[in-house]
Structure 1
Amino acid sequence: MSYTSLIDPKNVSQMERLNDRQVVNNAGGYVFALDIWARLDRFLVLGSDAPTYYQSARKLTRENAKSVEACWKADHRRTADRIVEISKAGRAPKNSPAIFALALGTLSDDVAARRAALDAVTSVCRTASHLFEFAALIDALGRGWGRSVSRAISGWYENRSPDKLAYQMTKYRSRNGYTHERVIQRVHPKAADGDAQRIALYRWACEGNLDGHVLPELVLAHLAAMKTEKASELIPLIEKHELTWEQIPTWALTDAKVWEALLPNLGMTALLRNLGTLTDLGVVKPLGGRTSEVADKLTDAEAVRQSRLHPYSILNALAVYRSGKSVKGERTWGPVSNVIDALDDAFYLAFGNVEPTGKRHLLSLDVSGSMGTAMIGGVLSAREASAAMSMATARSEKHHHFVGFGHSIHKLGISSKMSLPEVIRSISDLPFGRTDCSAPMLHALKAGLEVDAFVVYTDNETYMGSMHPSEALKKYRRETGIPAKLIVAGMTSTGFSIADPNDAGMFDIVGFDSDAVSLMADFVRA
């Protein structure tokens, strides 16, 4: 054997290191390591509250925590800004990773880093539920509530108008073992002498004497609602004061007429969570009821945009609603097709308007065994979620083709005209096995496919191939003359990617970032 063939990277299997920039993944294959900033993005969007095929949620969280701490140490300003940016833009299905990342920043040895983390609390913890989660994390991390932490949490109360504070205090009364009484008594937020309503809110939360101070009208309406025993007494209060379902007594949540009154006040997230309840109670039904109103609300592009409703949240809600039973509890319902169709439309609306590139896309779905674990703590596997995500590109790009891969190529009967439930069902019936992420590029070469952009949705746990994916792309480029690009959509928050960071034609993105489809189009277009 010649020395030329011995050093040729095309002959290096994925179980061997291609160069010194590679690291071993959880499956034993060699891939490229994400830098700390790319991994921060993955964690902020995908979180680590669900285990992967190879790692427990605890182990994955510890790994990500070390990476986040490295970001705080390397550049605290950049870290804080990125956390705020992704959180406020609604690019993640959950805000919990951003809150956790801020809490880690408060542990820094650098005073400036701690200050940057605490300064971002109001921006990231936009609801009392978020604030209580942050408080619980501070306790769990052993940080303690020193002067700077107390000042940051006090600022959350002090920087809201009495009306907005009243809304938060009546809607989110307790979370994570915290109440407003517990927090206020711990941090003692300030109120000016003339700020009678704020003083009243603090005293009411702590069950103190109001001493003539008048509570905001919303709190008085909430208190009146909590004393009601009949729907006929409660509904006028809901309609007059626009009360939400969290601000009324629990007995009322089994009454269809109460839910009809609540419907105009339901935010998009609350609507998603309560679709099963609305259907079970007959507010939503196949013919009649308030079905058209619900469907119209879900497919209102401007409402979806303003609510920052995340596509994964919609997809997860669709899977639960279509199943006809709640994930927790015993509630069941008969799914209504109009609502399923509306959720399907809402999913694509949540990605925003994407300008087509006109390029030829090979949408390559990793259907190996390791993609079978639940994603982001939901009911869908990473495999099913990636299939749905690929549909957002397929809907915008006329020239596309689907393939599935494990250790070989699988033909997929997926069409951009299919509904999301059909797509998920088709991907769930495939035989699963080991992973070779070079398969899409080698298949395209063998089949004579003309591809401008390979989009690979994967957990990056590849190890089976006789050639590294990055080398397979280079081989495709050489033999076809097409300057094809590779986009890797990482579907778990591990620190790996098959994309070579030194190749400008390869791009790693976070799977289910709400901006992902637009970012992919921009990269392909560039």
Structure 2
Amino acid sequence: MARDPLAAVSTTATPQSRPISGRTDQVPNAAGGYVFAKDLWTRLEDFLILGTTGGTYYVGEDRLTAENADVLFQAIGEDGPRVVALLTGIATARPPRAPKQRPALFALAACYAKGDADTRQAAKSALARVARTTDHLAQFFGYYKNLGGKATGRGSAPVVGRSLRTALGSWFLTGDADDVAFKACKAAQRRTPQGEAFSLRDVLRIAHPVPDDERRRTLFGWIAGNVHDDVARDVLPAVDRFLSAKAVTSVEQAVRVVSEARVPWEFLPDAMLREPAVWDALVDTVGMTALIRNLARMTRIGTLTPMGEATARAVARLSDADAVRKARIHPMDAWLAMRVYGSGRAQPNRKADAQTWTPVPAILDALEETYELSFGAVAPSGRRLLVAVDSSGSMGQGVYSGGSLLGTAYQAGCALAVMLARIERGNVHVIDVDTAVHASRVTSRTNLRELSSWTPSGGGTDLSLPFTWAAGERFGADGIVVFTDNETWAGRSHPSQALTAYRRSVSPDARAVVVAMTAAGYTIGDPEDDGVLNVAGLDASLPMVINGFVRS
């Protein structure tokens, strides 16, 4: 019999190298397979959470950044106030949804530079909430110069209209005067993303905020250099503590101002920050984020030691659920801290000597506790979950948190799979998939420190396999969760078709969650399927979202 080419056309089993017949919403991914295009607002949300640092296995950082910037500008043109509402929600959420503020600050700067009057008004109201620190304000200002500035021949100069002046002024007027003084003392000067000097004094001169009381008038005068230190310290306790710390000349004095005046570590002279006794006092007073970031320093100089008293106090803080929540610690920051601290080596500057230390086991255990606490309390769903981690070659690409390498996309996916396994208490089965299904090493008891040595199995990608495997094994899952970069191409049917077949033969009400590990703009999840949810992989609310979606 002659071959009938029409017999190859199917809507139930289409090779992933071709689009599904009749579907106009599929696009080619970077690997040559066909997947579903995400809508504008889902792509924007992915960018705000995942960022673009490091690019993907197939797409370089510059191109991925340009593509996501285009998405942002298109969204601003379509509905700028909605963009501001979305970025503000992500930037201020508890638990934190994004590991770093940079994408949100960039988006807020773009809303000022590219938005209409309503968008700028919304951005003005959001600035003080999104740019909570001097460092955030410097990043926002630098991004705005690039997007809304005018060329000078040596870069760009900001075009500062009334709206932006008012917004910058609101940063100095939001909160108690002493709270603003505290932020100013911690970091009066920073650098923009372009590396340019950024001074609160200069911003104050640009914004010309009108003080609402005498204390704030004193603060503005002190920042500008028009009010003497003695006058400011009499009115503002933060300034008094700052000036007291700067006058410290001995370890004993440093310990006293830390213990009695609760002086933050940023106020102290650099020489005092090399003293073990000073950090012993700071263990109880330093902010949670600063505590985590300085664990290696404290271990290197001898403050944290095995069975040490300071170590016990640090462990107690790192294991305090309320403290972790209040400090907005993101799970990926906790995992990154665990990886860096556990490595025993760091070299922040290539020209500087490497720093080494011997990790204290109790601190590593506490950091793992911090990681788990940072997700918040999530009750088990009581549903059966199949979790598939894409272990193809492209998942060996690095995942970054605010410019720091977190690990590979595969390792990050496995870390999140461990968390789901712990939450669901035995109702989770985890597999690895490339062009075949492999047994996963993830269990509810997996030690997260192990993940740093795990590598993906490599090879091609067939993301229909989680569903075809579940069908073949008659695995009755209520939900199937896939951690992936969506670069599938090798299967004989599309993942959406395999999911439909699985529902038909095994579990009619099964739901699927596709967790994107990169902001590539497409997904294997069918947007027309109400039983499929697309989410971003570095979102700290992920376990809660998956839990609620599978329950519903």
Q: Which of the five TM-score ranges fits, normalised by the shorter chain?
A: over 0.9
Residues 1-10 or 52-61, more deviating: 1-10
What is the CA–CA distance in structure 2 between the aligned matches of 1:186 and 1:418, rounded to whole Å? Answer: 53
1:50 CA displacement: 2.4
Per the alignment, residue 153 of structure 2 pairs with: none
1:328 CA displacement: 1.1
Candidates 45, 68, 85, aligned match of 2:89: 85
Per the alignment, residue 278 of structure 1 pairs with: 298
Change (3 A) 1:452 1:395: same
Q: CA offsets, 1:194-244, max 9 Å, x none?
A: x34323322322333439843312212212322322111222222222111
What is the CA–CA distance in structure 2 between the aligned matches of 1:125 and 1:386, rounded to whole Å? Answer: 30
Residues 213-222 or 167-176, more deviating: 213-222
Per the alignment, residue 100 of structure 1 pairs with: 106
1:424 CA displacement: 4.2
What is the CA–CA distance in structure 1 between the aligned matches of 2:502 and 2:56, rounded to whole Å? Answer: 31
1:3 CA displacement: 7.0
Per the alignment, residue 159 of structure 1 pairs with: 174
What is the CA–CA distance in structure 1 between the aligned matches of 2:468 and 2:229, rounded to whole Å? Answer: 77
Instruction: Tell me which amino acid in the other structure corresponds to 1:250.
Output: D
3-state secondary structure, aligned to 1:197: helix
Matched, 1:433 2:452: no
1:331 CA displacement: 1.8
Contact kept? 1:105, 1:113, Cα under 8 Å: yes
Per the alignment, residue 201 of structure 1 pairs with: 219
Aligned length in residues = 522
Q: CA offsets, 1:164-212, max 9 Å, x none?
A: 11100111222222111121122222225xx343233223223334398
3-state secondary structure, aligned to 2:375: coil
What is the CA–CA distance in structure 2 between the aligned matches of 1:211 and 1:99, rounded to whole Å? Answer: 33
Per the alignment, residue 12 of structure 2 pairs with: 10
Candidates 332, 338, 341, aligned match of 1:312: 332
Residues 377-386 or 248-257, more deviating: 377-386
Candidates 391, 398, 422, aligned match of 2:418: 391
Q: CA offsets, 1:248-285, max 9 Å, x none?
A: 11111111111111122222211111110111122211
What is the CA–CA distance in structure 2 between the aligned matches of 1:410 and 1:121, rounded to whole Å? Answer: 47
Candidates 44, 49, 55, aligned match of 2:48: 44
Change (3 A) 1:357 1:160: closer
What is the CA–CA distance in structure 2 between the aligned matches of 1:454 and 1:481, rounded to whole Å? Answer: 11
3-state secondary structure, aligned to 2:412: helix
What is the CA–CA distance in structure 1 between the aligned matches of 2:288 and 2:520, rounded to whole Å? Answer: 31
3-state secondary structure, aligned to 2:386: strand
Q: CA offsets, 1:390-414, max 9 Å, x none?
A: 1111011121111111122121222
Q: CA offsets, 1:312-363, max 9 Å, x none?
A: 1101111101101125152211111111111112211111111212222111
Instruction: Tell me which amino acid in the other structure corresponds to 1:9.
Output: T
1:481 CA displacement: 4.4
- 5+ long unaligned stretches in structure 1: none
3-state secondary structure, aligned to 2:19: coil
Q: CA offsets, 1:82-109, max 9 Å, x none?
A: 1111111121110111111111111225
Change (3 A) 1:2 1:120: same
Residues 217-226 or 382-391, more deviating: 217-226
Matched, 1:400 2:428: yes
Residues 516-525 or 351-360, more deviating: 351-360
Q: CA offsets, 1:38-93, max 9 Å, x none?
A: 11211111111222112222221211111122222222232211111111112111
Q: CA RMSD in A?
A: 1.8
Instruction: Tell me which amino acid in the other structure corresponds to 2:166.
Output: R
Contact kept? 1:451, 1:482, Cα under 8 Å: no
What is the CA–CA distance in structure 2 between the aligned matches of 1:480 and 1:221, rounded to whole Å? Answer: 66
Per the alignment, residue 134 of structure 2 pairs with: 128
Change (3 A) 1:125 1:30: same
What is the CA–CA distance in structure 1 between the aligned matches of 2:307 and 2:51, rounded to whole Å? Answer: 40
1:160 CA displacement: 3.1
- 5+ long unaligned stretches in structure 2: 150-158, 192-196
1:162 CA displacement: 1.7
What is the CA–CA distance in structure 1 between the aligned matches of 2:244 and 2:43, rounded to whole Å? Answer: 49
Matched, 1:522 2:516: no
Per the alignment, residue 375 of structure 1 pairs with: 399
Identity of paired residues, percent?
A: 34
Alignment of 1:478-493 (within 5 A): 478-493=504-519
Per the alignment, residue 65 of structure 1 pairs with: 69
Candidates 437, 440, 450, aligned match of 1:422: 450
